Structure 1
Amino acid sequence: MRLSRVVPGVLAVGVVGAGAAFVVGMRNKSPWLQDRIRAFSKQFASEALKTAGNEGAANGVVIHVGRRSGREYATPVTPLPTADGFVINLPYTSKVDWVQNVLAANSATIVHDGVDHRVTDPRVVPYAEVASMLPKSAGVVRAVFDIQEFLRVTTVD
């Protein structure tokens, strides 16, 4: 009888502990954790891409060209519309391949809410520069994960 009460508590502590370790690792930009999350994300990107960018979907897609391969890639992101383009938070920093590809090409296509947007002038900016453009929910995510870098792009269309 007692064991049936202890097991759920132990499981709850384990889940809370894992969640706390995840948040601390993301806040500290732990290369070990970020590498594992990126690998996990790549495995499931095709699933995320099935709905990302569709009308009403929270996530969008950045379509970019590899700077070495010349191949076209699609990466799920959460683009936040601004008056002149989009802002995308960079929880893994600006060193990830897709950001480097967009910066090198100086352009990309963002699929958001069912519409393709050609974007240019990509620049990595600090939170202070985009804070007033972000909805409160994005500010909460930024604070929890200590996101310091954002990609800001301008729409061409």
Structure 2
Amino acid sequence: MRNKSPWLQDRIRAFSKRFASEALKTAGTEGATNGVVLHVGRASGKQYATPVTPFPTPDGFVINLPYTSKVDWAQNVLAAKSATIVYDGVEHRVTDPRIVSYAEVAPLLPKAAGVFRAVFDVQEFLRVTNAD
């Protein structure tokens, strides 16, 4: 992961997709560390639910992108310019999605997120703003 090997990233991404349904069982529920991004497919128009680890900010959320911003769910959110994040049992309608660097969001993230970022060399983050 740290070297951004396309071969390794593709294998991990495929594994994650296969077991996403297990992660979705608790993601977004009260007290869970993971949340869910509800988004609409760019081509299919189908509704999708993707487990993520959102970090709340004063104006929305930051989500790390260990597989880069090219993952389908991130591209769907960027294309739609909105999504819903279910976090700690609450649905949050979000808008203004944008890809940002670690330097831009570092002050907003907990220390553990910085460690994860360093270990997996995460370069991109999705930042969204609460619509309400």
1:151, distance to aligned residue in structure 2 (A)? 0.2
Partner residue, 2:52:
77
Select the residue among 132, 137, 140 that pairs with 2:107.
132
CA deviation profile, 1:121-140 (whole Å, cap 9, x unmatched): 00000000000000000000
Select the residue among 33, 39, 45 that pairs with 2:8.
33
Partner residue, 1:90:
65
Task: Determine whether 1:115 maps to 2:100.
Answer: no
CA deviation profile, 1:88-108 (whole Å, cap 9, x unmatched): 000000000000000000000
The higher radius of gyration belongs to 1
Could you tell me how far apart the structure 2 residues matched to 1:145 and 1:40 are? Answer: 17
Pairing of 1:60-75 with structure 2 (within 5 A): 60-75=35-50
> Equivalent pairs: percent with the same residue?
83
Task: Determine whether 1:50 maps to 2:25.
Answer: yes
CA deviation profile, 1:69-92 (whole Å, cap 9, x unmatched): 000000000000000000000000
Structure with bigger RCO (C-alpha 8 Å, 6+ apart): 2
Q: Which runs of 4+ in 1 moved over 4 A?
A: none
Partner residue, 2:119:
144
Could you tell me how far apart the structure 1 residues matched to 2:3 and 2:126 are? Answer: 20
Q: Note the residue ranges of structure 2 that are not aligned, 5 or more in a row.
A: none
Q: CA RMSD in A?
A: 0.5
May I ask how many residue pairs the two structures share in their alignment? 132
1:43, distance to aligned residue in structure 2 (A)? 1.0
TM-score (norm 1): 0.83
Could you tell me how far apart the structure 1 residues matched to 2:4 and 2:39 are? Answer: 25
Partner SS for 1:111: strand
1:154, distance to aligned residue in structure 2 (A)? 0.2
Could you tell me how far apart the structure 2 residues matched to 1:27 and 1:96 are? Answer: 17
Could you tell me how far apart the structure 1 residues matched to 2:4 and 2:35 are? Answer: 24
The structure with the greater share of residues assigned to helix is 1
Q: Letter of the 2:23 partner, please give it.
A: A
